[in-house]
Amino acid sequence: MRPFRYARPTTIDEALGLLGTHGSAARVLAGGTDLLVRLRLGHIAPDIVIDIKRVGDLRADIVDVPVTNTSETGRIAALRIGARTLMSDIAADPRLQRHFPALVDAARVVGSVQIRNRATLAGNICNASPAADTAPALLVYRAVVNIAGPQGSRRVAVEDFLTGPGRTVLNGAEIVTSIDLPIPARQTGAAFGRVTRRYGVDLASVNLCCLVTAAGETRFAFGAVGPRPFLVRDESGALADRHTRAAARDEILFTLIQHATPISDVRADRDYRIAMLAVMSRRALVSALAQRDQGAHHS
């Protein structure tokens, strides 16, 4: 490991100043579960590591974002997950369990218990692994990333935030401050799934999330089968209709899966990934439909 400077800012402005000064030679440390491994292996050699765990303005909790329309006072528009919020806190939050169960399921399989007690959701998407387990759920739930930089703040949909393996839209002087999950106005159902080489701690060979809305839209997000996790949609209503014939359903699923461009690597070969994507998509769709209909029945 090459020696580097270590900084521990206490304000966002201080952190942004350090990033602006050092640019691509700097790395941000939040949970550190990916960064420290890459440092030890020599895959990266930054001049400075900026530890943001003491930046008070970067929250480590999950808060309600109320609707700004005064006619809807009291209604919650979104849940905001702070940049320092841990995976274990996401998995345990009852509001996320109610509104975003697929994200909770994804957070529960990130690494080991020890990893989940250190890793952050913001760090998981900033790492931008094509196999990131939380990314498919964030995509189908239409999550939005809040970013701070020297030119002010901006909001970017997760779908646009991830640009390639290890790459995001962040420039060298920006930092993620939080992630917003808009609460659906009507009942939805969602399901997360993944395949790994072995049971337990491992990167996904394939992961995905399926969401079905009350209006008949079906969203799939696929991971580990392309240079970045990506979102595809069926707006015909056919996949969301339980009465659609199996052959017609499979034809639509086949069309969606064709957007995948998997490679062969140490975790799985290309043909296996394509085959499992089809199997897992069918299973996730069934689970998402059941969850949507069960929620509608109880509402």
Residues 6 or more apart whose CB falls under 8 angstroms from that of 94 comprise none
Fold annotation for 62-182 = 3.30.465
Stretch 39-58: mean pLDDT, rounded? 94
- Please, which pLDDT band fits residue 296 given cuts at 50, 70 and 90? low
Whether the Cβ atoms of residue 273 and residue 225 lie closer than 8 Å to each other: yes
Residues 6 or more apart whose CB falls under 8 angstroms from that of 143 comprise 157, 158, 179, 180, 181, 182
Give 215-258 pLDDT, tens digit per residue: 999 999 999 999 999 999 999 999 999 999 999 999 999 999 99
The CATH class of 188-298 is alpha beta
The total of other beta-carbon atoms located within 10 Å of residue 258's CB is 10
Q: What would the CATH number be for the domain defined by 5-51?
A: 3.30.43.10
Whether the Cβ atoms of residue 179 and residue 146 lie closer than 8 Å to each other: yes
- Please, which pLDDT band fits residue 68 given cuts at 50, 70 and 90? confident
Distance CA 131, CA 283 (A): 19
Mean pLDDT of the chain: 93
Domain boundaries, the chain: 5-51, 62-182, 188-298
What's the pLDDT at 2?
85
The total of other beta-carbon atoms located within 10 Å of residue 226's CB is 17
**Whole-number percent of the chain with pLDDT over 70:** 96
Stretch 157-171: mean pLDDT, rounded? 96
- How much is the pTM? 0.94
What is the chain's Cα-based Rg? 20
Residues 6 or more apart whose CB falls under 8 angstroms from that of 186 comprise 213, 214, 215
Q: Is the pLDDT of residue 298 over 60?
A: no
Give 172-187 pLDDT, tens digit per residue: 899 999 999 999 989 9
